[in-house]
Structure 1
Amino acid sequence: MRLWLFLRLWSLLWHLGLPVVLIYLWGRGRKDVVYPRFLGERFGRYRQSMSGSIWVHAVSLGELRSAVPLIRALLDRGETVVTTHFTPAGRREAVRVFASDIAAGRMADVWVPFETSWAYRGFFRAFRPKAGLVMEIEIWPRMIFAAKKAGISLFMCNAQYPTKSMERDAKLRLRHNLMQGYAGAFVKSDLQAQRFASVGVKNITVTGELRFDQPIPPHLVAAAEALRSTLAGDRPVITFASTVEGEDDLYLDAIASALRHPSRPFMVYVPRKPERFDEVAAMLANRGLNALRRSQALDATFGAKTLPSPHRGGGAGGGGQQQAPTPDILLGDSLGEMYFYIALSDRVVTGGGFTPHGAHNIIEPLALKRPVIVGPEIHTIEYPATEAIAAGVCLRVETPEALTKALTDWQGPGPEMIEAFFAAHSGATQKTLAALDAALRQK
């Protein structure tokens, strides 16, 4: 009864709030013109149809990237796929990665409908999916129960239930009731299976983490190998990947300290959000750190535009001429090139771990056999961070002082140990396909 009342209230709020949502999309459209495009799709009105497709809901960029190997496997075995998104970042990535499949009519990328039953009816009429996969742990109440009413098996996929989310949900069990509306869950680990089972989710299969199967763009790795000595000489390189607002001062303090160390590592600093690129560049300049911007130093194909020769010391050059200051930092102000920035490095610090929001993905560094450092807040990446820390391929630092020390004193394990860890956790794509097939046979 309580769930029924919540769904009615949820629908009422969405109907009353639609003007606010439209104003929000219009406002975001002033910064990103994709937000208000194809507005009819958000109301369940679609230009194309694709009956019998596999539906993959990837709300934004991170979810889509984790779904890439699974979508590719589905397409390769002859399935048609429709992906739904709420933000332009996820939709753009789908178009970039699967452009040929979209052009050939094997795949469609569309906005997820607004949270109303009639909008979902329009979506189901257009695509008639035979199953739905919701990446990670997205809880969209109307989506869950509209799919159930339409007879569409909807599964949580690549799912984990973080500790902090469990603690929050224990106070109000409504989310437990919503999760029980799924047809099942394909989860990352045995621990996650236990957690979902404890709140009443049925039909749980441990399939692993799909990000372990992500393809590595070879051109980004090759570009890094070609440029590393030009950028950093023989200095060790540390990449700060996906740094977020609220931790820059802490990281920049640690970087300044590391630059006073005899090893004087070269730093690569990559903010997570593009709107922060100029802000971070100003922070670096205000601290007197000599930084290059990727957008200014390198062209679109990673050709050098302005790259001073790296050297360990300052001072006068030949003929009494003063040498240009040695660059100490490359600011990664580009999108879709994280593997390039990681491939430049010897070690990686993954951002977010010194904020309450939690650390970001450590799998990309491990895929390139780079040891990883994370802050204390790892609830967002409990799997595989807990396993990676236990295996010695990831170092968790609890304080800013420990981070500063780790930048110069912790070298991490060799690539063989990281490769063994990575191999032990790969294969989620095939496990997920097998779990999906088994679930559909039982339908």
Structure 2
Amino acid sequence: MNRPTYNLLWRLAMPLVLARLWWRGLRESGYRKHWNERRGHYGARGAGWHTLWIHAVSVGETRAAEPLVDALMALYPNSRILMTHMTPTGRAAGHELFARHGDRFVQSYLPYDTVSKLTRFMRHFTPRICILMETEVWPNLIAVCKTRGITVALVNARLSERSLRRAGRFGRLMTQAAAQLSLVAAQTERDASRISSLGAPRVVITGNIKFDVAVPAAALARGRFLRQRINADADGDSGGAGRPVLLCASTREGEEALILDAFKAMPERPPGMLLLLVPRHPQRFDEVANLAGLRGLRVARRSTLGQDGADLDSAVEVLVGDTMGEMVAYYAACDCAFIGGSLLPLGGQNLIEACAVGKPVLIGAHTFNFAVASDEAVAAGAAVRVVDAAAMLAQARQLLLDTMTRNSMGAAAFGFAAAHRGATTRTVELLQGLIY
């Protein structure tokens, strides 16, 4: 595919794209806010600042960018950070994390990848550099940056074999875009090799910035509060009188049914075992609570827990984590954690936060989006890979009943996370040579 064909397809698809955006707004109202930004229209001019632009598509990329934002803020005290997103949840996470920077931090949705919309965006904000997080390579975005003299860097970059094959279907369109990247800071050697095969001229292995994300003390405190409300031991040792807690974090559509069926079919649960189930997408909170109820399981929701100061009813078997911005608290509140997106061929989710909190980790077979981190966590004794939901519940049962093994895995997880820090420093050193 070449750029004229790509642009024609965008022109033809735009009515459908906007209609789909409006439809998604029926389930998640945030998609109907800031509508004009997605079309490249703004109010008062945004120029007048030395602007460093970071594109973080959704929640995961936004949270991963935290140490990078803080480092750039410290290095460039007279600059501002512009962060763009594609999802309302990503934008909300950015506001939660970075509003403390005041006027030096601004947010916008990234316009759709058309030349006219992106040109209006860049005229408005006048960025000095475009820093793309992880995988977000858009052909027209890079081409317009090149035309306007804006340096483009892809940082914390990752590219799975599946994504490489998908990029290959776009042919010259993607190789031209890759060739215009001034810097690629790749997570692993495998990522670097795949991205280099697309024609990126400068690829450096810097590691994964997500290992540098600090565990907030306030989130740990919320985790302790949550354990108290579910009547678990405050120190996390469910070998005492408290309830043992299995967290299934960032689960995706199709996985919850498998997990709930396996949980209901467990021949013998640890006494008082609680399944804490946190769907990745907030628009599915109601659906997942209903799935548990339809199976005859006693269900409660995190959003209502503790409002009256009472503990969770001891008869509740499934607690649905239906709040945003509390994932670290959920990790702190559990005894062991399964990382979703890995029971089905969806690529898995980030296990680093769970390790950083010092929790034993369970993962499924499908972790191609985080292949190296997952494999290394297993090798370090921080994680165990399981073949299906039944095997995951069986492994969780063993961990919940075996305090010594659980604590040993938790210590290995904490050590694994600590050993991989430093990617932010290496990345910022490279970026300094590109920022003027």
TM-score by length of 2: 0.88
Q: How far off its partner does 1:389 sit?
A: 1.4
Residue 107 of structure 1 corresponds to which residue in structure 2?
105
Q: How far off its partner does 1:171 sit?
A: 5.6
> Pick from 288, 299, 316: which aligns with 1:291?
299
Residue 329 of structure 1 corresponds to which residue in structure 2?
318
Residue 137 of structure 1 corresponds to which residue in structure 2?
135
> Pick from 42, 59, 65: which aligns with 1:61?
59
- Percent sequence identity over aligned pairs: 33
Residue 204 of structure 1 corresponds to which residue in structure 2?
203
- Greater CA drift, 33-42 or 427-436: 33-42
- What does residue range 121-160 of structure 1 map to in structure 2 within 5 Å? 121-160=119-158
1:398 aligns with 2:397: no
> Pick from 46, 50, 56: which aligns with 1:49?
46
- Matched AA of 2:309: A
Q: Secondary structure at the match of 2:433?
A: helix
- What does residue range 44-443 of structure 1 map to in structure 2 within 5 Å? 44-46=40-42, 47-50=44-47, 51-77=49-75, 78=77, 79-101=79-101, 104-170=102-168, 173-174=171-172, 175-233=174-232, 234-258=242-266, 260-299=268-307, 304-305=309-310, 307-308=312-313, 310=314, 326-410=315-399, 411-412=405-406, 413-440=408-435
1:65-86 per-position Cα deviation (integer Å, ceiling 9, x unaligned): 1112211221233131111122
CA distance in structure 2 between the aligned counterparts of 1:342 and 1:59, rounded to whole angstroms: 24
1:34 aligns with 2:23: no
Q: Which runs of 5+ in 2 are unaligned?
A: 233-241, 400-404
Q: How far off its partner does 1:170 sit?
A: 4.6
- Greater CA drift, 149-158 or 193-202: 193-202
- Greater CA drift, 153-162 or 125-134: 125-134
CA distance in structure 1 between the aligned counterparts of 2:39 and 2:303, rounded to whole angstroms: 38
CA distance in structure 2 between the aligned counterparts of 1:163 and 1:194, rounded to whole angstroms: 11
Instruction: Evaluate the alpha carbon distance shift between residue 432 and residue 259 of structure 1 in structure 2; reply closer, same or farther with a 3 A threshold.
Output: farther
- Matched AA of 1:67: A
- Greater CA drift, 31-40 or 334-343: 31-40
1:14 aligns with 2:23: no
Q: How far off its partner does 1:306 sit?
A: 5.9
1:261-320 per-position Cα deviation (integer Å, ceiling 9, x unaligned): 345532211111222222221221222222221122233xxx635633x4xxxxxxxxxx
Instruction: Evaluate the alpha carbon distance shift between residue 170 and residue 12 of structure 1 in structure 2; reply closer, same or farther with a 3 A threshold.
Output: closer
Q: How far off its partner does 1:230 sit?
A: 4.4
Residue 236 of structure 2 corresponds to which residue in structure 1?
none
Q: Secondary structure at the match of 1:270?
A: strand
- Matched AA of 1:207: T
Contact 2:28–2:283, Cα closer than 8 Å, also in 1: no
Which has more radius of gyration? 1
Instruction: Evaluate the alpha carbon distance shift between residue 277 and residue 40 of structure 1 in structure 2; reply closer, same or farther with a 3 A threshold.
Output: closer
CA distance in structure 2 between the aligned counterparts of 1:220 and 1:429, rounded to whole angstroms: 22
Contact 1:154–1:184, Cα closer than 8 Å, also in 2: yes
Q: How far off its partner does 1:374 sit?
A: 0.6
Q: How far off its partner does 1:258 sit?
A: 4.3
Q: Secondary structure at the match of 2:322?
A: coil
CA distance in structure 2 between the aligned counterparts of 1:192 and 1:248, rounded to whole angstroms: 30
Contact 2:381–2:409, Cα closer than 8 Å, also in 1: no
Instruction: Evaluate the alpha carbon distance shift between residue 29 and residue 290 of structure 1 in structure 2; reply closer, same or farther with a 3 A threshold.
Output: closer
CA distance in structure 2 between the aligned counterparts of 1:248 and 1:43, rounded to whole angstroms: 36
CA RMSD for the aligned pairs?
2.3
Q: How far off its partner does 1:242 sit?
A: 0.9
CA distance in structure 1 between the aligned counterparts of 2:225 and 2:28, rounded to whole angstroms: 34
CA distance in structure 1 between the aligned counterparts of 2:226 and 2:371, rounded to whole angstroms: 34
Instruction: Evaluate the alpha carbon distance shift between residue 229 and residue 95 of structure 1 in structure 2; reply closer, same or farther with a 3 A threshold.
Output: closer
CA distance in structure 2 between the aligned counterparts of 1:216 and 1:201, rounded to whole angstroms: 34
CA distance in structure 1 between the aligned counterparts of 2:226 and 2:166, rounded to whole angstroms: 46
CA distance in structure 2 between the aligned counterparts of 1:383 and 1:304, rounded to whole angstroms: 43
